[in-house]
């Protein structure tokens, strides 16, 4: 059961997904990135999301959403970034 997973295990799975290119950005994330024009210095890029996962310090299960709130990470510019991730056996879908 997902909610019984430990935060360290969740972070390990997320980091492994980044390294193996199994991170899938859902439509909501792509839309938000487009809204923020990720080509400009103040926007969000896929690399920022990957960096936030790789540098994250914690993960908390959100039972009503069946997602994990991933905290303590930073984007490529060193700015704090929090995101939500849903896990399944074949892929990781990240939502923000």
Query: Model pTM?
Result: 0.85
Q: Strand order in 80-87's β-sheet?
A: 23-25, 92-95, 80-87, 67-74, 58-62
Going residue by residue through the chain, which has 96 residues, state the pLDDT in tens, using 9 for 90 and above: 466 789 999 999 999 999 998 888 888 888 877 776 655 566 788 899 999 999 999 999 999 988 999 999 999 989 899 999 988 877 677 775
Q: What is the CATH code for 2-95?
A: 3.30.2310
Instruction: Give pLDDT, residue 19.
Output: 93
Strands 58-62 and 67-74: antiparallel
Give the number of other CB atoms < 10 A from CB of residue 59: 26
Instruction: Give pLDDT, residue 41.
Output: 60
Locate the domains of the chain by residue range.
2-95
Find the radius of gyration of the CA atoms of the chain.
13
């Amino acid at each position: 059961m997902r909610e019984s997973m430990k935060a360290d295990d969740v972070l390990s799975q997320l980091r492994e997904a980044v390294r193996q290119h199994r991170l899938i950005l859902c439509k909501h994330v792509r839309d938000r990135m487009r809204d923020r024009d990720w080509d400009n210095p103040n926007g969000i890029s896929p690399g920022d999301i990957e960096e936030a996962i790789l540098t994250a310090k914690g993960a908390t299960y959100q039972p009503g959403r069946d997602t994990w709130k991933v905290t303590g990470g930073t984007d490529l510019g060193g700015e704090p970034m929090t995101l939500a991730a849903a896990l399944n056996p074949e892929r990781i879908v990240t939502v923000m």
